[in-house]
Amino acid sequence: MLFADDSERLSLISSGSTSKLAARGLSQQELIERSWERCREAGLSPSDQPDLDYVSQVELRQERERLDVIRRIARAELDLLYGQIAGTRFAVALANENGLIMDARADQDFKRVARERNIRLGSLWRESLQGTNALGTCALARHPVLVHAGEHYLDRYKTLTCAAAPVFDPAGRIIAILDASSDSCPRPPHTLALVNFSAKTIEMGYFRDHYQDQLILSFHSRREYRYTVSAGLIALDTSGQLLAANRQALFILDGMQLAEGNHFNDIFTTPFGTVIDRVLAEGEVMVADHVGSHYFLTIENTNRLQTTHTLQPQPGEDPSPTLGEDNSEVATARSGVSTAQDPCHGSRFVANDPHLIERLKYLTNAVKRSLPILITGETGTGKEVFAKHIHQTSGRAGNFVPVNCGAIPENLVEAELFGYVDGAYTGSRKGGADGLFHQAHGGTIFLDELGELPLASQVKLLRVLDTRRYRPVGGAQDVKVDIQLVAATNANLQQAVQMGAFRSDLFYRLSTISIQLPNIRERSDFVDLAEYILAKVDPGVRLTRCGLDELLQHDWPGNIRELRNFLTRMVVLNDGEKITRKEVQATFEMADLIGIPEPHRQPPADPASSPSPERPAAASSTPESGQSTHLARQRLLAERIQRACVQHLYNVSKVAREVGVSRSTVYKYLKQTR
């Protein structure tokens, strides 16, 4: 027990003397003392039985909607914290700045106690009404607090132990409070530390989410701490003006000029532009503040720099690669340019679009230093082809090893990636096997669908990135590896991080150099792309200007993959060497008639990829709009076939030639109209 008996506890409360708390060696005794003083001033008595204070369902819903962003970010951490203390008769809760519980998780054994003690959604833990308690006291003290057993002011709560920590927004206001409560008798030794760590993680996630459209500096005096809750975070605009700093940055740079509106150069001695270029080239940089302290620093959201700071091309480089893409043999896209003059000869990627060219400029410096590169974009935008271009740019003599992370069974991911030793698991090959990382040694490994990688494997991948070593399954020795790692996804990894499906430290490690591939409908080099792919399908066929204009009217939600399939189908259905608007329309109509599904546009994986004012967004392709377009084309084709049938007295061959479709399409129409 905390006190020898209740009479001793009541004596301390009634007398106003809490000095014995310090003698008992209790942590945070000053916070408890001040809380008890506030309770006495509020006229509370330990024997009070106040009404349970909770809001209506309407008010709760409104409050949860108001704080939807912080709740979304906190959800994964709430689950993780609950997982760490599950089975110990605990409940974890997320409350607003006033102590109103918005979300909670509880052990089955503790749910009855939680209901009796008002630990439920919508309950409000104001200190002025409920006495000293972790949520209410934390809200007033603005400090992590543990309230154990008799430290609660009211008798009704003296069987509980509660730990709470505040979550601050970038302006320094409490935006939420994280709490863990239990009815266990012993004082839990590590609960407050766990709760405080989780609260800081949520706070950093909120900071990053709030400034996702700005540059974020992550720094610490020790390199390995840059992606932990000990790191300082500073948000800047692309000119280097300071927007905000998290609490850890204020602590680390105590005495520095961290007011909003000050410049990067007011804090650090290395000029802002130099830091930007070095981070883009090397992934990190060491800087010194004006007091003389040194820090390892990296920059997040570097895709914001695509139109501001870029590295100068190396001597002999062509800053504007212009290549075509397809999935056939290696070829040069530009006619009249020799392979010796073409810096991207052997690539299969069209890059005549200025926005895409801008994103390619710093790749040479990145691969020269073997920095990991993250490629994002919709399905079909050519991520694997782009990864092959990176491999060719690197000049590595080793293999290009593509890996579809979503296609490997979860229980075999680590064995496939890192290999295994003899006897590692039941059914394993005698003598063991080398993994895909071993195959990629000296070359490039391409991890497609990275978001499908299990969390346990993400930890090992992060270790490979940090140490350039991995350990085969069942092995006792690390294996050194020299690779260029390229990862790709069409998923929103930031959202996955917030949902707990992807590790934040791995995300920020990978996103130092990231490339967002635009969908082809937004690319200014669409015509070049279409002509190049058509030339690979059939070099003897060309598109007229009207035919190209017709292609431009389509949304192409399936991107390059859809365009390539369409052009292939169009060549097969038409025998001529010239493709006009009529043949393009007929191919669209034929696809509708035989029921080829039209892909639907995916949302962009990165908010930064939203269309700019200079580049308007393409029309959306929702299921409803896609269905209406499909039906309209079917009706149009049916009308044309019907007119041709009447004109040619149902001569199928003549009807097919007139309409520009195959005989089988005409037969299918006639069968449907019988």
In the prediction, which pLDDT does 85 show?
67
Last residue of a domain, one of 148, 180, 208: 208
- At which of 188, 208, 228 does a domain end? 208
- Per-residue pLDDT for 132 more than 90? yes
Q: How many residues are there in the chain?
A: 674
Domain identity same for 254 and 216: yes
Which pLDDT band, with edges at 50, 70 and 90, does 335 fall under? very low
**In this structure, what token pair is assigned to residue 564?**
């390539």
Per-residue pLDDT band for 18 (boundaries 50, 70, 90) equals very low
Determine phi and psi for 320, rounding to 5 degrees: -125, 75
Rounded to whole angstroms, the maximal C-alpha distance in the chain is 110
**Is residue 440 a part of any domain in this protein?**
yes
Structural domains counted in the chain: 4
CA atoms within 13 A on the CB side of 104: 25
Burial of 96 per CB tally in 10 Å (0-12, 13-18, 19+)? buried
Residue 66, pLDDT score: 94
Select the more confidently predicted residue: 174 or 647: 174
Mean pLDDT of 303-321: 41
Structural domain of 457: 354-516
Q: Which residue has the higher pLDDT, 116 or 446?
A: 446
The confidence band for 7, taking pLDDT boundaries of 50, 70 and 90, is low
In Å, how far are 60, 330, 460, 506, 561 from 413, measured between CA atoms? 43, 31, 11, 17, 27
- pLDDT-derived band at 369 (thresholds 50, 70, 90) equals confident
Residue 16 has pLDDT above 60, yes or no: no
147 by DSSP, 3-state: which?
A: strand
Residue 108 and residue 70 in one domain: yes
Residue 324 within a domain: no
Higher-pLDDT residue of 149 and 4 is: 149
Relative orientation angle of helices 134-141 and 29-41, to the nearest 10 degrees: 100
pLDDT average, residue stretch 440-460: 89
Q: Are residues 180 and 222 in the same domain?
A: no
The answer to whether position 457 is within a domain reads yes
Is pLDDT at 1 greater than 60 in this prediction?
no
pTM for this model (two decimals)? 0.49
Per-residue pLDDT tens over the stretch 461-512? 988 888 889 988 888 888 999 999 999 998 888 888 887 888 888 888 887 7
Residues 381, 508: one domain? yes
Q: What tokens does 17 get?
A: 């003397």
The answer to the question of residue 1 being in a domain is no
Q: pLDDT band at 327, cuts 50/70/90? A: very low
Q: Which of 456, 447, 436 is nearest to 487 (CA)?
A: 447
CA atoms within 13 A on the CB side of 571: 19
pLDDT greater than 70 at residue 610: no
Q: What is the pLDDT of residues 157-178, one digit of tens each?
A: 888 889 999 999 999 999 999 9
* CA-closest candidate to residue 210, choices 244, 173, 179, 176: 244
Any idea what the CATH number is for the domain that residue 230 is in?
3.30.450
The full 3-state SS of 453-464, as one line of letters, equals CCHHHHHHHHHH
Mean pLDDT computed over every residue of the chain? 77
241-284 pLDDT tens trace: 999 999 999 989 987 778 888 899 999 999 998 898 888 877 78
Identify which has the larger pLDDT, 233 or 308: 233
Q: Summarize the confidence of residues 390-399 as an average pLDDT.
A: 86
| 82/101 same-domain check | yes
Q: What is the pLDDT of residue 52?
A: 74
Of the candidate ranges 28-32, 171-175, 234-238, 256-260, the one whose mean pLDDT is the lowest: 256-260
Q: For residue 391, give both structure tokens.
A: 């491999």
The answer to whether 319 and 407 are in contact (CB under 8 A) is: no
Tell me which amino acid residue 50 is.
Answer: P
CA angle 521, 526, 527 (to 5 degrees): 140
Q: Is residue 322 part of a domain?
A: no
